[in-house]
């Protein structure tokens, strides 16, 4: 890459012939500027190194103190909690970095301990005055500080003033939005997915997976996912259909069956996948009926469904609808045909191909 500079060299050397003195001067100045810049970047690198080392050292030292303090607070009955807390706070938690380190360490504790310790860990968080620090982050303009505050709040199960967090569900920055989702999901006592009602930006697959994951640790009653099956965002509808299948909410099978005729492609597609997971063979007649008018993607899903929960006769019903030129579909068809009859050899497959198509 540093070919460019060499060219400047030639450009200058040629200029020199026409206008020697001033060009020389400019070049001397330029080399000096580049040189000084190079030296300053080197010093910057050194500074970064030293700075990182110092702050890491400081962090390591503080971490040891923190772990020791928190352990005493948690397990030592002879520990003078209130006095020691004030001492520690005044002595060790002065800078922003200190507070960040303390927050992180408390998160590590919260992540590893549960039961009676969880409440004590929260008590320490408040005792250190880190809640105010968190609110500062939350009200800060920078997106990453907002996101961080939300992240800490849901991991430690802290309640934040709703005036500050409600609007963040539809924040412009994606990371803030996502952390807000998780905050509401984890903080809710009776309606973990209630925030979906207010969501106005499509849910990415990443977010869906995180929400799914968050639901696993939700201790209350599993929500009725059909509540969001008519949400205005297709991604939310698709998500609730996935969840209906994952949580085996069979009572909603009729709605899913209806969705096989939905006008949105994505919804028909997910309806098939969800119903297949719930092993609902009653959808197969509809699938066969609609087969010829579906997209190739849905056709492939239909094959898969028949392979999973249908019969070889169902498959044969579809053969007439496969166009001669639809070679991709033929291969898919034959895959399922072989699934039903694994002993078909390669030649037999060819025969099968001739009979059915």
Partner 1 sequence: MKKKILVIEDNPMVVKSLEFKLLKEGYDVATAIDGRRAMEQLETNSFDLILTDLMLPFVSGDQLIEHIKINHPNIPIIVLSTSTQEDIITNAFTMGVDDFITKPFSPNELALRVKRSIGSLKKTTNR
Partner 2 sequence: MNFNLFEFIDIASLLFLTYGLIIISGYIFLALFSFLELRDYKRKYNFRDEVPLLQSSHLPKISVLAPAYNEEANVIENVRSLLTLDYPSFEIVIINDGSSDNTLQSLISTFDLYLDDVLYFPHIHTKNVRGIYSSKQQSYKNLKVIDKENGGKADALNTGVNCCSHDIICCIDVDCILERDALLKLVKPFLNNDKKVIASGGIIRVANSCIIEDGRIIEVRLPDTFLARAQILEYFRAFLMGRMAWSRVDGLLLISGAFGMFDKKTVIESGGYNPNTVGEDMELLVRMRRLMRDKKIPYTVSFVPDPLCWTEVPQSWKVLYRQRNRWTRGTIETLGLHKGLLFNPKYGVLGMLSTPYWMFFEWFAPLIEFAGIIFLILMFLFGQLNLHVFLIFFGVVYTFSILFSITALFFEEFSFQQYKKPKYMVRLLRTAFLEPLLYHPFVMWAAVKGNIDLILGKTSWGKMTRTGLSNPSKTKPK
Q: Which residues bind partner 1 (CB under 8 A)?
A: 63, 67-68, 70-72, 74-76, 105, 108-117
Written as six digits, the tokens of 119 are: 């409440």
Q: Which DSSP category does 201 fall into?
A: S
Distances (CA, A) of 224 to 114, 216, 277, 298: 28, 14, 18, 27
User: Which CB sits closer to partner 1, 122 or 335?
Assistant: 122
Residue from 9, 75, 126, 250 in contact with partner 2 (CB under 8 A): 9
Work out how close the CB of 106 gets to partner 1 at its nearest, in angstroms, rounded to a whole number: 10
User: Which CB sits closer to partner 2, 18 or 83?
Assistant: 18
**Interacting partner of 166 out of partner 1, partner 2, none (Cβ under 5 to 8 A depending on kind):** none
Compute the distance between CA of residue 201 and CA of residue 220 in angstroms, rounded to an integer: 27
**Interacting partner of 331 out of partner 2, partner 1, none (Cβ under 5 to 8 A depending on kind):** partner 2
CA dihedral 70, 73, 74, 79 (to 10 degrees): 140
Radius of gyration of the chain, Cα coordinates, nearest whole angstrom: 32
Residue from 22, 49, 220, 320 in contact with partner 2 (CB under 8 A): 49
Which residues lie below 8 Å from residue 10, measured CB to CB, with a gap of 6+?
A: none
The DSSP H or E segment spanning 55 is: helix 20-75
Written as six digits, the tokens of 125 are: 């968080």
**Does residue 126 bind partner 2 (CB under 8 A)?**
no
Compute the distance between CA of residue 165 and CA of residue 183 in angstroms, rounded to an integer: 9
**Interacting partner of 305 out of partner 1, partner 2, none (Cβ under 5 to 8 A depending on kind):** none
The DSSP H or E segment spanning 237 is: helix 234-246
Report the site for partner 2 in 192-231 (rule: CB under 8 A).
202, 204-210, 212-213
**Interacting partner of 84 out of partner 2, partner 1, none (Cβ under 5 to 8 A depending on kind):** none
| C-beta of residue 257 within 8 angstroms of C-beta of residue 285 | no
Report the site for partner 2 in 140-179 (rule: CB under 8 A).
144, 147-148, 151, 174-175, 179
Footprint on this chain of partner 2 (rule: CB under 8 A): 1-18, 20, 24, 27-28, 30-31, 34-35, 37-38, 41-42, 44-45, 48-49, 52, 144, 147-148, 151, 174-175, 179, 202, 204-210, 212-213, 242, 246, 327-328, 331, 334-335, 338, 345-346, 349
């Amino acid at each position: 890459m540093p070919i460019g500079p060499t060219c400047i060299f030639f450009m200058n050397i040629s200029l020199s012939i026409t206008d020697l003195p001033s060009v020389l001067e400019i070049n001397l100045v330029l080399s000096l500027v580049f040189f000084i810049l190079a030296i300053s970047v080197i010093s910057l690198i050194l500074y970064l190194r030293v700075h990182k080392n110092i702050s890491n050292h400081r962090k390591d030292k503080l971490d040891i103190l923190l772990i020791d303090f928190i352990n005493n607070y948690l397990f030592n009955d002879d520990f003078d909690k209130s006095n020691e807390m004030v001492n520690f706070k005044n002595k060790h938690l002065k800078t922003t970095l200190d507070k960040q380190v303390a927050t992180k360490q408390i998160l590590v504790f919260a992540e590893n301990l549960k039961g009676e310790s969880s409440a004590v860990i929260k008590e320490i968080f408040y005792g250190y005055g880190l809640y105010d620090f968190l609110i500062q982050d939350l009200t800060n303009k920078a997106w990453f500080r907002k996101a961080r505050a939300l992240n800490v709040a849901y991991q430690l199960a802290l309640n934040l003033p709703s005036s500050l967090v409600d609007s963040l569900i539809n924040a412009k920055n994606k990371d803030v939005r996502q952390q807000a989702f998780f905050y509401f999901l984890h903080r809710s006592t009776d309606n973990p997915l209630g925030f979906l009602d207010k969501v106005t930006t499509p849910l990415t697959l990443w977010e869906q997976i995180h929400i799914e994951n968050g639901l696993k640790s939700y201790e209350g009653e599993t929500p009725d996912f059909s509540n969001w099956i008519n949400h205005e965002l297709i991604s939310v509808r698709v998500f609730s259909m996935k969840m209906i299948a994952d949580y085996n909410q069979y009572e909603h099978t009729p709605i899913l069956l209806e969705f096989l005729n939905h006008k949105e492609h994505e919804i028909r597609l997910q309806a098939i996948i969800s119903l297949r997971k719930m092993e609902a063979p009653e959808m197969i007649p509809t699938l066969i009926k609609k087969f010829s008018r579906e997209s190739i993607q849905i056709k492939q899903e239909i094959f898969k469904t028949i392979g999973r929960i249908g019969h070889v006769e169902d498959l044969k019903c579809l053969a007439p609808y496969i166009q001669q030129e639809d070679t991709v579909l033929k291969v898919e068809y034959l895959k399922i045909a072989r699934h039903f009859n694994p002993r078909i050899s390669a030649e037999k497959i060819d025969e099968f191909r001739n009979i059915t198509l």
